[in-house]
Amino acid sequence: LLHAPLHADTEADRDLLKAMKSVRQVLDRARAANVALVGIGAVVDPGSTYYQAHPEMTQEREALYDAGVRGEFLGHLIDSAGRPSAQGYNARLVALEPREIARVPISIAVATGIEKAEPIRAAIGGGYFNTFVTDETTARAVLEKETE
């Protein structure tokens, strides 16, 4: 369990938190894992857990989407190709980088809900996981999104 805020106040604070022994050990254990189970989050949906965790960002939802943010992966805002966004929120994030999860031998992403079709496509484009679990309705929405 990582005992740290998801976002630090500044990049310097993030670096300080990530250097703390207790935080560093948790992140190092995650990097060394043989299996990772991760989620994919939406950033537009009002019920998004990203905004539940950061209610102060709710008003920025549309601006983030207009700036190219399409989803959330490991707390990182990602664009349509799955690349971490240049948004300042990512620079203050106390979490693994998406590319670090891609190195885990078995990496499983789980997401459901048609509102996550676009975020799922973005995360798949990033190549961060090798297994994806969802329900039939969400899978159809992801495939339909591909043909648009």
What SS3 state is found at 138? helix
- Distance between CA 141 and CA 133 in Å, rounded? 14
The answer for residues whose C-beta is within 8 angstroms of residue 105's C-beta and 6 or more apart is 34, 35
Residues 103-133: tens digit of each pLDDT: 999 999 999 999 999 999 999 999 999 999 9
What integer pLDDT is reported at residue 4 of this predicted model?
87
| Cβ–Cβ under 8 Å, residues 121 and 51 | no
Q: What is the pTM of this model?
A: 0.89
Residues 13-33: tens digit of each pLDDT: 999 999 999 999 999 999 999
The stretches of the chain forming alpha helices (DSSP H) are 11-19, 21-31, 49-53, 61-66, 88-91, 98-102, 117-126, 136-147
Residues 32-73: tens digit of each pLDDT: 999 999 999 998 776 777 666 666 666 777 788 889 999 999
